[in-house]
Structure 1
Amino acid sequence: MTAILVYRDKLVPKSEIGFLRRQYSAFSRLEPHWVGCSTTAEVGELTPSPIVLGRAGPFGTLDRALFKQCARVPEAPSLRPLGARLIHAQFGRGGALALPLARALRIPLVVTYHGGDAHKNKHYEKRLLPTIYQRRLEALKAQASLFICVSDSVREKLIERGFPAAKLTVVNIGIDLDPAMATPKEPPYVFFAGRFVEKKGIPILIDAARILRERGVGVGVVLAGDGPMLSDMKGRAAGLDGVEFLGWQSQAATRHRMRGASLVVVPSITASGGDAEGLPTVAMEAMSAAVPVVATDAAGLTGVVESGRNALVVPAGDPAALADAIQAIVTDPGRRAALGAAGRALAEERLSAAVQSRRLEDRLIDVIGAFQEA
């Protein structure tokens, strides 16, 4: 197999293990080797042999500081013998950090943008002391061979940011297909799972729940997750029957609640600082379990789903439209079943980790081939 390097500055935050692993889960021709500047206790869940740049001991701290701030590539004896043919960096900042390493090894660089690294304005606003990413951004645009975007919305935003359209391609991050199918419970409820932050649009969901209650539609709302807006959202829902806040839930508990829901709702908006969804995993997991999805047009699903066929998509920030879509599903079991089945078919055809991982491997092999010919 051909060796490649996968760069993540910190190997690896626990919250990222799942989606990072899935990107490479079906590789059969390329062998990923993980490289970065530090490790966490969880790195063994991703790789048994991470490569940490810099010397061991206190001099390693200096090596890594010079690497990040001055683009001075430290010695890493285990790197060159690998004969790696490409670096695949995770996140925009990771691409900026990996750029001098790609130059030193004389191999192409590919960068995956996941959402916030494209959408958040703070990464691109001019400041007195530019960040590493800002200092290297123009070089990154010029010298990286390819930018992988996890959704159409990420690609569109990067074009707005001045990235060359010819270097941008969309490869979704797939999910592990759920072997268990939806078993809607009574009384019916809609399910939300995610961080309680602005871009998730939770106030819109609560307002939609209030509209449904006023219409006499008997459906509960169950919200799983934690975050800085949790307390405010509990206050917003005060006095509204049928709204349940679960707090943080394990993956198993989340999937159990999801399978019992009449639908999963993704009420995302574009946050005040520009942050927006990349491609919400919860929507793909719901479709994998044949649970219908109602999402807004800010949820990153453009180009993935077809509204009315395998999901319902409504305008972001519109609680009445969200309530209409929820009502249309919970009051029509036939439509609920049809949307769920179509979502499952889409997941099998396009959204599985195996399908998307093979697509990613194909793109990386294409880059290696083009680099050799240049």
Structure 2
Amino acid sequence: MVRFWSKLRLSEPWQYKAPIILSMIYGVVYAQQITPQHLLKWLTLSLVTIIGIAGLGYLSNDWADQKTDREHGKSNFFLSTSKTFQGIVALGLTLFALAPWFLFPTNALSLWLLGAELTAFGIYAFPPLRLKTHVFFAPIVDAFYAHVLPATLATHTFYLIAGESATWQTLVPTAFWQLFLGIRLFINHLVIDRPNDIHTHQTLATRYHSLKLRMACIVLLVAELFSLSVLLYHWLGPFACTAIFLGMLLTVIQHPVVYSFREHAAERFYKLGLPYMMLLALSFYNPWFLGFLAVHAVLFPNPLPSETYLWSEIRSFLSKPVNLIIYYFRRLVLLQDRPKAYQEYYPEYLRQRSNQEKMKQTGTVIIANLNKDKYSETYVRAYEEHLSHGIKLIHGGYPPTKTDQDETIIDLEAYLRQTKAKMVFAHFGPMAVSMLPVCLNTGIPLMAYFHAYDIHHRDQIECYKADYLQLFQHVHALLASSKEIYNKLVALGAPEKKVHYLPAYVALEKFASDRKSEPSFEVLAVGRFCTTKAPHLTLLAFAEVLKKAPNAQLTMVGDGELLETCITLATSLNIAQHVTFTGALSHEEIHQMMTRSSVFVQHSLTAPVTGDREGTPVAIMEAMASGLPVVSTDHAGIGELIEDGKTGFLVKEGDYSAMADRIATLLESPKLSAEIGTNASNAIRKHHEVANHMAIVSHLIDQLALK
């Protein structure tokens, strides 16, 4: 059930939208003096239709976005479930959305609002209009179908239940309050999702600086609170609404620069304050409403900070007896040894036990990363295996919302305190920015690792420059994956004493120089199919290689937005029979390919529009460690590793003809290939930072973390 709830993203409307709509219903109940005996049925039907309408909204978006989500690797309900399950869910949500309206009292306005809601679904998500792709119309239409129309419909319906008609003094401020709220929340979402949207389509967050959007949200918030105060005046009278409005407005005026795109005080007030305030007001004239207050608290809990942590501990405690019974049955009855008794869980058991022992002995370090197990970001698991400290991974957003076991983190500050974290190690600049307020509030030191995109991409710099300056002021250490990034951080204002040059981690021992001695004509490229790795230029170079070495074969490992383009290009160049596209592979599979290949090639370059660049590519370091000669471009951190003509070959960015010449030279001269491969393997193992990555990180943690 939790997974289904998550797939359709229903937790957001349940936690944020449902309490707001219920607050408005409570307001109508107060204004019209509806008795609690007549209310329970209508509230239950309201919750059912809220779930149904919200679910249909997300379902229609996912249906319309299947193609783009598949291309960009985004989660999508229709890409991860069966046709049968999709049909059942669609039918169920439709029944949830529409069935209650056969019981609710309705009139012409009710039917018009329902029709407008369904129409808004269509014009927002589907062609030919598909307004969700329009920079300025998208937030307005989203606000209408997700906030204005449902709230107006709920208010109007409960006036009909009371035997009255809603007046314009109620409906107009309701609509404007929800309009301003909806647009502001939509902007919040765009800012948070900007790192993903920047590669797919233009939004307000990719077009305008975050400071401008923050000021726009503050203006919207003031208008939003004013509209709410008018509505509360109509329902509760002047005293209560004036006190609420002035208090919230004072907070906004005093702290405009700390507006949070994640969850502002207003959202917490709508979720945790407004509905309880309404129910308390109702309880003054009828104590039976205290029962409704208790039910509301159960359905929409204000969670204790330790709820996730305690539930995790309880579940772990209850699962231990069952697991022990199974384990000892295998050991004592089936006479299995320990590894076999644990079966496929044995490696995981050893890993967890080792990590827990390190937590007890040296403390816990929190690794904050957007992704959990992205194949190109193996450093997270490597830290757990090789660092001398215990590791807990948090992931899933800016800031993270999930633990390593995919449990929701309700209160991040409380989670850090409960785990007794001695340091937060954030990967990528935006993640470090999102963790900074939490670390400042908890007093936990923060270390940030800048990889490449987060410091080179022009839009990233434009969006986060002000945040980076604040980060530089408070962060304990900044790690740069290349000397170029080191210099750029310093140029942007980072104190040089905080910046440390440290290429990404490579498990040198797993990439031993044990390549096959017999010559082959295998050329290998490993990396994402993206602009900075220019796989299309690798194909152009290989087409030139085939003129000199017609038996050569190119294997390209990885996936990404340019994969289909490259497959088409290989066909157009008439070299498809010489090129294999494998998709993403494990490091073990890549290592096997490196042992039987003759040349490793990567044509890294600077993205012409965004200015994005590489750091120090891990695949190149792995190839060098394997004794595989590398032909690449003199780009970013690559030139810091390779000495041209001795430990590899470097060409200018974009010069695929020169790259083809170097590849052909190595294929035609096995002796030269072996010599350069041996030199490369020796050089990478003697590289101080590469060879001692984990020791350097451990030293920084010991030096800077809480004692």
TM surpasses 0.5? yes
Kindly indicate whether the alpha-carbon contact (under 8 Å) linking 1:116 and 1:277 is maintained by their aligned counterparts in 2. yes
SS in 2 for 1:182: coil
Q: Distance in 1 between matches of 2:439 and 2:512?
A: 40
Q: Distance in 2 between matches of 1:217 and 1:159?
A: 48
Kindly indicate whether the alpha-carbon contact (under 8 Å) linking 2:451 and 2:481 is maintained by their aligned counterparts in 1. yes
Number of the residue aligned with 2:423: 86
Offset at residue 262 of structure 1 (A): 0.8
When Rg is computed on C-alpha atoms for both structures, the one with the higher figure is 2
Number of the residue aligned with 2:365: 5
Number of the residue aligned with 1:31: 390
Number of the residue aligned with 1:269: 605
Kindly indicate whether the alpha-carbon contact (under 8 Å) linking 1:7 and 1:88 is maintained by their aligned counterparts in 2. yes
Q: Distance in 1 between matches of 2:579 and 2:413?
A: 52
Offset at residue 184 of structure 1 (A): 6.1
Offset at residue 200 of structure 1 (A): 0.8
Number of the residue aligned with 2:83: none
Aligned counterpart in structure 2 of residue 152 of structure 1, from 483, 495, 511: 483
Offset at residue 84 of structure 1 (A): 3.5
Offset at residue 188 of structure 1 (A): 0.6
SS in 1 for 2:386: coil
Aligned counterpart in structure 2 of residue 75 of structure 1, from 389, 411, 414: 414
Determine whether 1:335 maps to 2:672: yes
1:186-209: per-residue Cα shift (whole Å, max 9, x none)? 651211122211111222222222
Determine whether 1:257 maps to 2:257: no
Q: Distance in 2 between matches of 1:316 and 1:325?
A: 14
Q: Distance in 1 between matches of 2:458 and 2:384?
A: 30
Offset at residue 344 of structure 1 (A): 1.9
State TM-score, norm by structure 2. Answer: 0.44
Q: Distance in 1 between matches of 2:600 and 2:481?
A: 21
Offset at residue 300 of structure 1 (A): 2.7
Number of the residue aligned with 2:581: 246
Counterparts of 1:1-374 in structure 2 under 5 Å?
1-8=361-368, 10=370, 12-15=372-375, 18-28=378-388, 30-36=389-395, 37-39=400-402, 43=404, 53-55=409-411, 74-76=413-415, 79-80=416-417, 82-125=419-462, 133=464, 136-176=467-507, 177=509, 178-179=511-512, 181-183=514-516, 187-215=520-548, 219-237=552-570, 238-241=572-575, 243-251=578-586, 252-272=588-608, 273-298=610-635, 300-350=637-687, 355-368=692-705
Kindly indicate whether the alpha-carbon contact (under 8 Å) linking 1:4 and 1:31 is maintained by their aligned counterparts in 2. yes
Gaps of 5+ in 1: 45-49, 56-72, 127-132
Q: Distance in 2 between matches of 1:299 and 1:222?
A: 24
SS in 2 for 1:14: coil
Choose between structure 1 and 2: higher helix proportion: 2
Number of the residue aligned with 1:69: none
1:233-292: per-residue Cα shift (whole Å, max 9, x none)? 233332444631323142243332222111111111111312222222211221222111
Query: In structure 2, what residue type is equivalent to 1:250?
Result: L
Q: Distance in 1 between matches of 2:538 and 2:637?
A: 17
Q: 1:331 to 1:116 in 2, by over 3 A?
A: same
Q: 1:256 to 1:16 in 2, by over 3 A?
A: closer
1:199-243: per-residue Cα shift (whole Å, max 9, x none)? 112222222223333446753322222222223223333244463
1:288-319: per-residue Cα shift (whole Å, max 9, x none)? 22111111112532323322222222211111
Q: 1:106 to 1:310 in 2, by over 3 A?
A: same
Higher relative contact order (CA 8 A, sep 6+): 1
SS in 2 for 1:75: helix
Offset at residue 123 of structure 1 (A): 0.9
| Matched residue count | 337
Query: In structure 2, what residue type is equivalent to 1:233?
Result: C
Offset at residue 337 of structure 1 (A): 0.8
Query: In structure 2, what residue type is equivalent to 1:39?
Result: K
Query: In structure 1, what residue type is equivalent to 2:530?
Result: V
Number of the residue aligned with 2:313: none
Q: 1:223 to 1:83 in 2, by over 3 A?
A: closer
Kindly indicate whether the alpha-carbon contact (under 8 Å) linking 1:35 and 1:51 is maintained by their aligned counterparts in 2. no
Q: 1:204 to 1:88 in 2, by over 3 A?
A: same
Offset at residue 95 of structure 1 (A): 0.7
Q: 1:239 to 1:314 in 2, by over 3 A?
A: closer
State TM-score, norm by structure 1. Answer: 0.79
Query: In structure 1, what residue type is equivalent to 2:391?
Result: P
Q: Distance in 1 between matches of 2:371 and 2:656?
A: 40
What RMSD, in angstroms, separates the aligned Cα atoms of the two structures?
2.9
Choose between structure 1 and 2: higher strand proportion: 1
Query: In structure 2, what residue type is equivalent to 1:365?
Result: D
Kindly indicate whether the alpha-carbon contact (under 8 Å) linking 2:521 and 2:667 is maintained by their aligned counterparts in 1. yes
Kindly indicate whether the alpha-carbon contact (under 8 Å) linking 1:152 and 1:302 is maintained by their aligned counterparts in 2. no
Q: Distance in 2 between matches of 1:216 and 1:33?
A: 50
Query: In structure 1, what residue type is equivalent to 2:581?
Result: L
Kindly indicate whether the alpha-carbon contact (under 8 Å) linking 1:184 and 1:259 is maintained by their aligned counterparts in 2. no
Q: Distance in 1 between matches of 2:520 and 2:391?
A: 47
Offset at residue 11 of structure 1 (A): 5.9
Number of the residue aligned with 1:63: none
Q: 1:205 to 1:10 in 2, by over 3 A?
A: closer
Query: In structure 1, what residue type is equivalent to 2:686?
Result: E
Q: 1:119 to 1:262 in 2, by over 3 A?
A: same
Kindly indicate whether the alpha-carbon contact (under 8 Å) linking 1:4 and 1:87 is maintained by their aligned counterparts in 2. no
Kindly indicate whether the alpha-carbon contact (under 8 Å) linking 1:174 and 1:351 is maintained by their aligned counterparts in 2. no
Gaps of 5+ in 2: 1-360
